[in-house]
Structure 1
Amino acid sequence: VGEDPQSLAWLHQRATELQEMQAAGLAVEVTDTEALARIRAAAPGITILPVNGNDIASRLKIEHYPVLITATSLEQ
């Protein structure tokens, strides 16, 4: 996810589903600690870590986020 409105809405809408999956999140676009706090607030109870997502995106051929990566699928 990123700090953009689409990512925040996506997280908020799927928070319960993500908690049930015991998901962890990767924040790939974070400008500062306040932005990371907003991302985390959109999905309380889910661990979200800031990372550079370029390598992951390249290897999995992901062109945009947010994306849900599971053992069997990529869902954008």
Structure 2
Amino acid sequence: VGERMSRYEFAIKIAEVLGLNKSLIQKAEMKDMKWIAKRPRDSSLNSENTRKLLTTDFYHNPFEILKEEYLKGE
């Protein structure tokens, strides 16, 4: 909770949780990307208010919840 991750770190974590090949994920600089729309360098969100309002405990292990949902679709 409260931890920031780069887009690269986020992709690596998802690959780890889902058992996917992490070596296919390549680190890149934002300036080298050919985005159609502008993207902020820091796209992290402060979720403190959301955490206070929701009763769902998806903050402690969101990647495990992602894995469960992913496996349901297989």
Bucket of the pairwise TM-score, normalised by the shorter protein? under 0.3
With a CA cutoff of 8 Å and minimum separation of 6, indicate the structure with the bigger relative contact order: 2
Q: Decide which structure has greater strand share.
A: 1
Superposition TM-score, scaled by structure 1 size: 0.26
Superposition TM-score, scaled by structure 2 size: 0.26
